[in-house]
Structure 1
Amino acid sequence: MNLFPIEAGNFKLDGGAMFGVVPKTLWSKTNPADENNMIDIAARCLLIENGNRLTLIDTGMGNKQSEKFFGYYYRWGDYNIDDSLKKYGFHRDDITDVFMTHLHFDHCGGSVQWNKDRTGYEPAFKNATYWSNKDHWQWATKPNRREQASFLKENILPMQESGQLKFVAKPNSDFAEANELDFGILFVDGHTDKQMIPHINYKGKTLVFMADLLPTAGHLPLPFVMGYDTRPLLTLPEKEKFLNTAAENNFYLFLEHDAHNPIINVQNTDKGVRLNETLSLKEFFN
């Protein structure tokens, strides 16, 4: 198995929204804000090469929305999926599977693109199977008013209309061992219903793709919960349970949204689970 970090593009989000009720004097120590109170955010995806299978986890925002839409998110840098794939010798047509942790626009927008004459939409990975789960799909396609601005039908429905969509089977517990895919999956509900957190066995280590269970290293303290989470009081125990497991088992945490700390591991301290070390992508993957 080979793993490749795929940079889908950087943007900014409001620091207050990213940290909920936590005062700026606390969160700005780890995630400094600009003059507009915006903090740096990454859309860092992960490519898994396992035999003939090439699985991409999440796809970033994509590029099909209007300039007005993107204007809210202050995109910066020059990362994009195509160049990132090319760096490792791949093309989007090589992708066999696209796994979406959840269907918020900044995680799945790159899964769908305009068709050639811009009259409609089509899958951006024409040879891939798209993976979600039935409960989250229903949640996203019949969105509540709090999340409906994050679940955009043009990002979601074309996957099913193309016939390329499949659902991961939900286990009886909150963790599914690797079966249809090449990794285990933790199901969590605090951020959004049935978000999926991949656990990948890689060279004797466990690498966990954190999605929005832990957006940045600055979110390690338990009360540091995003204002975007639909059930923050459920995020707290989900996060606590996971972080304790991560510390005990020396998991490596792949941070999708942390623009400056791509991979971390954690340790138990008197103050709870805290940062142990930060690794660069080169340090971990080489």
Structure 2
Amino acid sequence: MKLYPIKSGNFKLDGGAMFGVVPKSLWQKTNPADTNNMIDIAARCLLIEDGNKLILIDTGMGNKQSDKFFGYYYLWGNDSIDKSLEQYGFHRDDITDVFMTHLHFDHCGGSIQWNKNRTGYEPAFKNAHFWSNQDHWKWATQPNNREKASFLKENILPMEESGQLKFTDLPQTDMLKNSPLGFDIFFANGHTDKQMIPMIHYKGKTICFMADLLPTAGHLPLPFVMGYDTRPLLTLDEKEKFLKLAADNNYYLFLEHDAHNEIITVKQTDKGVRLNHVFTCNEIFN
């Protein structure tokens, strides 16, 4: 097995929204804001090469939305999925599976693209299966008013229409061992229903793709919960459970949204679980 970080692009989000009720005087120490109160956000995906499988976890925003839409998110940098894949000798047509932690637009938008004539939509990975789970799919296709703006039908419905959609099993508790793609999955419901956190066993390490359970290293303190979360008190409990496991078992936490910290480990302290070490992907994957 080999792992590769895939940079799908960078954007900015309101710092207050990213940290909920936490005062700016606290969160800006780790996530400094610009004059518009916006903080740097990455969309760092992960590619798993395992035998004849090439699995991409999450796909970023994509590029099919309008200029007005992207104007809300202050895109920055020149990263793209295609550039990142090419760096490692791959093409998007090589991808066999796209695993989506959840179906918010900044995690799955790159899965679907305009067709050649821009008259409709088609899978951006024509040879891949798209993986979700039945509970989250229903949550996303029949959205509540709180999340409706994040679940864009043009990102989601073409997966099913293409015939390339597959569902993972659901666990009896909160952990699915040895999923169809070979890694364990931790299910978290605070941010959105049945978000999936892949846990990949790699060279004696456990690499956890944190998605929106832990967006940045600045979100380590338990009360530092995003305003976007639908059930913030549940997120707090899920974070506490997962971070305790991470500290006790020396998990390596791959941060999808942290523009400046790629992988971290954590440790138990008198103040709770806190940052231990910061690593680049090259340090851990090579």
Give the unaligned 5+ runs of structure 2. Answer: none
Aligned residues: 286
Letter of the 1:90 counterpart: F
Within 2, Cα distance between the matches of 1:171 and 1:282? Answer: 32
The match for 2:59 is 59
Within 1, Cα distance between the matches of 2:146 and 2:237? Answer: 22
Which moved further from structure 2: 164-173 or 24-33?
A: 164-173
The match for 2:148 is 148
The match for 2:209 is 209
Residues 179 and 185 in structure 2, CA contact (< 8 A), matched pair in contact too? no
Letter of the 1:43 counterpart: A
Query: What SS does the aligned partner of 1:127 have?
Result: coil
> In the TM superposition, what is the alpha-carbon distance from 1:179 to its structure 2 partner?
3.3
Query: What SS does the aligned partner of 2:6 have?
Result: strand
The match for 1:28 is 28
Within 1, Cα distance between the matches of 2:182 and 2:5? Answer: 16
> In the TM superposition, what is the alpha-carbon distance from 1:147 to its structure 2 partner?
0.2
Within 1, Cα distance between the matches of 2:243 and 2:24? Answer: 23
Residues 168 and 179 in structure 2, CA contact (< 8 A), matched pair in contact too? no
Within 2, Cα distance between the matches of 1:24 and 1:228? Answer: 16
Query: What SS does the aligned partner of 1:218 have?
Result: helix
Residue-by-residue CA offset, 1:56-98 (whole Å, 9 max, x unaligned): 0000000000000000000000000000000000000000000
The match for 2:285 is 285
The match for 2:93 is 93
Within 2, Cα distance between the matches of 1:268 and 1:13? Answer: 30
> In the TM superposition, what is the alpha-carbon distance from 1:42 to its structure 2 partner?
0.1
User: TM-score, normalized by length of structure 2?
Assistant: 1.00
Please report the RMSD computed on the Cα atoms of aligned residues, expressed in angstroms.
0.4
Query: What SS does the aligned partner of 2:154 have?
Result: helix
Residues 6 and 81 in structure 2, CA contact (< 8 A), matched pair in contact too? yes
The match for 2:240 is 240
> In the TM superposition, what is the alpha-carbon distance from 1:178 to its structure 2 partner?
1.1
The match for 1:44 is 44
Query: What SS does the aligned partner of 1:9 have?
Result: strand
Within 1, Cα distance between the matches of 2:285 and 2:54? Answer: 17
Letter of the 2:37 counterpart: N
Residues 169 and 179 in structure 2, CA contact (< 8 A), matched pair in contact too? no
Give the unaligned 5+ runs of structure 1. Answer: none
Letter of the 2:38 counterpart: M
Within 2, Cα distance between the matches of 1:131 and 1:84? Answer: 21
Within 2, Cα distance between the matches of 1:17 and 1:186? Answer: 25
Displaced runs of 4 or more, over 6 A: none
Task: Determine if the alignment matches structure 1 residue 84 to structure 2 residue 84.
Answer: yes
Residue-by-residue CA offset, 1:180-239 (whole Å, 9 max, x unaligned): 112000001000000000000000000000000000000000000000000001001100
The match for 1:75 is 75
Within 2, Cα distance between the matches of 1:15 and 1:281? Answer: 25
The match for 1:191 is 191
Residue-by-residue CA offset, 1:147-185 (whole Å, 9 max, x unaligned): 000000000000000000010010211100113112000
Residues 97 and 131 in structure 2, CA contact (< 8 A), matched pair in contact too? yes
Within 1, Cα distance between the matches of 2:252 and 2:263? Answer: 7
Within 2, Cα distance between the matches of 1:182 and 1:255? Answer: 21
Residue-by-residue CA offset, 1:100-152 (whole Å, 9 max, x unaligned): 00000000000000000000000000000000000000000000000000000
* Distance change >3 Å, CA 281–CA 179, structure 1 → 2: closer
> In the TM superposition, what is the alpha-carbon distance from 1:283 to its structure 2 partner?
1.3
> In the TM superposition, what is the alpha-carbon distance from 1:18 to its structure 2 partner?
0.1
User: TM-score, normalized by length of structure 1?
Assistant: 1.00
Within 2, Cα distance between the matches of 1:152 and 1:55? Answer: 23
The match for 2:161 is 161
